[in-house]
Amino acid sequence: MEPCNGISRIYPGFKLMNKMNGTMMMKRNNWITNIFLALLISMMAVTVAAAARPLTQPKADGLIGEQANGYIGLVKNDVPADIKKLVKDINAKRKAGYQKIATKQGTSLSDVERVGGNTAIEKTLRGNYIRDASGAWRRK
């Protein structure tokens, strides 16, 4: 990979790559994307941690769980009304937080939701329920 005409000095996030056939193409460095994702994940971890306290017991009881879409879901339909309200409130707060991050970072809400879901699932305690992208509930 060799810079051409100093473009890598002007745009440090880009490098020119010389392909085997002699053509040149611009490729974005992965480090920019990695930094963005690291910041996004750390922001999501703070959001998830703050919201986790009231969710601890219902999760342990197997009533609710984390979903790949970034929101809490009802594992069972017959949960008490206060748990349903809690899930609705937490999900509304998460959506507002996701939207704020998406706007600030100039990315889509669905991308932020997906990262939030992955982060929440990673932080889910063993034995609690998670719902994967296929829609199946399972214990972690």
| Summary mean pLDDT of the chain | 79
120 found inside a domain: yes
1 found inside a domain: no
Give me Rg for the CA atoms of the chain.
20
Q: Mean pLDDT throughout 50-77? A: 89
Residue range of the domain that includes 11: 7-139
Three-state DSSP class for residue 21: coil
Number of other residues whose CB lies within 10 A of the CB of residue 2: 9
52 found inside a domain: yes
2 found inside a domain: no
pLDDT at 9 > cutoff 60:
no
User: Which is more confidently placed, 131 or 6?
Assistant: 131
Q: Mean pLDDT throughout 33-59? A: 70
pLDDT tier for residue 46 given thresholds of 50, 70 and 90: low
Which residue in 84, 106, 102, 104 sits closest to 94, CA to CA?
102
Q: Structural domain tally of the chain?
A: 1
Q: What is the pLDDT of residue 11?
A: 47
